[in-house]
Chains A and B, each alone.
Chain A
Amino acid sequence: MLTENIKKAPFKKGDIIVYLALIILVVTLFLVTLLPQREINGFTVTVGGKTVLYGDFLNNSVKISKVDWVEKIDENTYKIISQSGYNTIKIDWQNKDVVVIETDCGISKECTYMRLKNGDVICVPHQMIISRTGEIPKPVVG
């Protein structure tokens, strides 16, 4: 019975309603998430929900809040170490961008393709998120 219904045709009249609903959903999501313009003044790096590092694009400065989790390589490059691996991030102060340049998070290493200026940089296996902030992140105590 089920296969008979499926085999009848690749497209049916009811598809119009379904696809219209999906398109409305997509457009609504675009409007809700992308219309409000946010100025980027800083960024925070969290691992498992805990802030490990935060940066200020206005003063070109970085503050490390969890010293054991961050290894400074140079002024623009930091290695974020989590329980499951590491992500090396590079800060582009001029363009207010942060990218992941090296990681051991898996085969596809998707976090290395993300750009902060287009949205948060997320490494799912390591639960690492680099979030842009409009306001300068305040120092995290502890």
Chain B
Amino acid sequence: MGKKVAKLSVLCALSLITFMVENLLPPLIIPGAKLGLGNIFVMLTLIYMGLPQALVLVLAKSLLSAIIVGNMFSLAFSFTAGVLSLIVTYLMLRFLSKNISVLSIASTSACCHNLTQLCVFWLLNANVNVMLYAPYLALLGLLSGLVTGFIVYLITKKDLKVLVS
């Protein structure tokens, strides 16, 4: 039990570190767009530890990143989008991983994440014009998912003892 908590804490810390580093960089093509490297650790948690632990990581990551950035309002977007994309990832991994690769799962999850954030912002601000960013965010999700998915594939292939045990 203690080992699980320690492993989860390390994955959460790594996820937060990548989030902070990405925040320091200028926006990726479109304002608000990020590569989402922190999601690598969410996927690894889901693959190696299971859905409940991954949910805990998403919650911890959303809460702590909102506190670090100093904007609790972003918690609404990041948590909702994180949970929804996590469920999509889980379902695809559970039922489709025989026929599709982790890269396409990551791309779908990233698209889902970005569009959910946009929808939440639209609902909270009653401004439909924000949907003008939808195609760019969907495209960026597709491309960034390729990167994060490939990294997850490489890590899984290595069968790192620290993750497997």
Contacts and interface: CB of A to CB of B under 8 A. Distances in A.
Nearest to A114: B31
Contacts of B121: 122, 124
A17 B104 CA distance: 10
A101 B120 CA distance: 26
B91 interface: no
Contacts of B74: 124-125
B47 A19 contact: no
Given A6-B153, A10-B103, A33 B71 contact: no
A142 interface: no
B121 to A, nearest CB: 7
A108 B32 CA distance: 9
A61 interface: no
Contacts, number: 135
B30 to A, nearest CB: 9
B126 A11 contact: no
A3 B159 contact: yes
Interface stretch (A22-30, A64-72, A90-98): A22-30
17 contacts: A6-B152, A7-B156, A12-B99, A12-B101, A17-B100, A18-B104, A18-B105, A18-B107, A22-B108, A22-B111, A34-B132, A106-B23, A110-B31, A120-B133, A124-B121, A125-B69, A125-B71
Interface residues on A, range: 35 or more
A11 B149 CA distance: 10
A107 interface: yes
Interface of A: 2-3, 5-7, 9-15, 17-19, 22-23, 25-26, 29-30, 33-34, 46, 48-49, 84, 105-108, 110-111, 113-114, 119-120, 122, 124-125, 127, 129, 131-132
Contact of B108 (A2, A13, A18, A120): A18
B130 A122 contact: yes
A3 B47 contact: yes
A106 B135 contact: no
